[in-house]
Amino acid sequence: MSEIDSIRKKLEEKLAPARYEHTISVSFTCMALAMRYGYDLEKAELAGLLHDCAKRYDDQKIIKKCEKHGIALTDSELRSPAVIHARLGAFLAEHKFGVSDPEILSAIACHTTGKPQMGLLDKILYVADYIEPRRDKAPGLMEMRRLAFEDLDEALYQILKGTLAYLERSGHFADEMTQKAFEACEELRRNKEEALPENEERNGKEDTSADDGSKGINKNGRKGHRRKKRRKH
């Protein structure tokens, strides 16, 4: 049995059926994005497969397991416990599933919040988790799915922006790392726009935010606006 098959089998035994289905769907979406952006397919598949491996536990148990394994949690994370499964997931991927690749572990660890200076696999997993084909309740999905394959950084920016907007609107606490990740994306976006030739800058400056978006939490947001097409750079 291959490593991938053996991991799938273990996950199928441990995760609820819907979570397992989501897991498989994220792993294939990670591979599709890896094909598009020139990343290692097997690493992308592994990151997708293992990203929610800690979701077999509820939030309180996840916090207890973090304490047990010496995973230090910030006050901000403890106020937003839904994000913590990413931290425990990275630990389990390393210590229970034998993954040592730092890019895979990083992508799993930040898949709920993002972080400043995300690497390519971090971005692929964060976006794949939002757009995977089995997901049907996140707002602006059609637009985000299209955008993910056109401009990964822009898709990441829009999903982070929508998530923060949703959290604020619904009175939920936003983990500070999500805000930091968003600000880093915003700065990158500004720098890219400043580097554009003058005639393209006009298009780039249009704010086309999917402003009702959130990372898989909001059920009733309206669809994001269609973004003007920009030349890749």
Q: Write the interaction track for Fe ion spanning residues 42-81; mark x where CB under 5 A is met and - where it is not.
A: ----------x-----------------------------
Site string for Fe ion, 203-222 (x = CB under 5 A): --------------------
Is the CB of residue 127 less than 8 Å from the CB of residue 12? no
Left, alpha or beta for 103 (phi > 0: left; psi -120 to 50: alpha)?
alpha
Task: Look at residues 211, 204, 209, 210 and name the one whose alpha carbon lies nearest to residue 228.
Answer: 204
Of 94 and 227, the one with the shorter C-beta distance to Fe ion is 94
CB closer to Fe ion out of 45 and 52:
52
- Stretch near Fe ion under the rule CB under 5 A, chosen from 1-9, 33-41, 126-134, 142-150: 126-134
Minimum distance, C-beta of residue 129 to Fe ion, in the bound complex (Å): 4
DSSP state of 222: P
| Choices 121-129, 136-144, 153-161, 194-202; region in contact with Fe ion by CB under 5 A | 121-129
Comparing CB distances to Fe ion, the nearer of 54 and 165 is 54
Q: C-beta of 216: minimal distance to Fe ion in Å?
A: 7
- Write the CB contacts of 105 (distance below 8 Å, at least 6 apart in sequence): 90, 93, 94, 99
In this complex, which beta carbon is closest to Fe ion, that of residue 174 or of residue 204?
174
Shortest Cβ distance from residue 187 to Fe ion (Å)?
Answer: 26
122 binds Fe ion (CB under 5 A): no
- Comparing CB distances to Fe ion, the nearer of 166 and 204 is 166
Q: Are 15 and 60 in contact (CB under 8 A)?
A: no
Q: Cβ of residue 196: shortest distance to Fe ion, in angstroms?
A: 34
Q: Give the CA dihedral 91, 97, 102, 103, nearest 10 degrees.
A: -110
Cα–Cα distance measured from residue 122 to residue 224, given in angstroms and rounded to the nearest whole number: 23
| Binding residue (CB under 5 A) for Fe ion from 129, 151, 175, 211 | 129
Half-sphere CA count of 115, side-chain side, radius 13 A: 16
Helix (H), strand (E) at residue 167 = helix 152-169
Q: How far is the CB of 13 from Fe ion (least distance, A)?
A: 18
Distance, CA of 201 to chain centre: 28
Residues that bind Fe ion (CB under 5 A): 52, 129
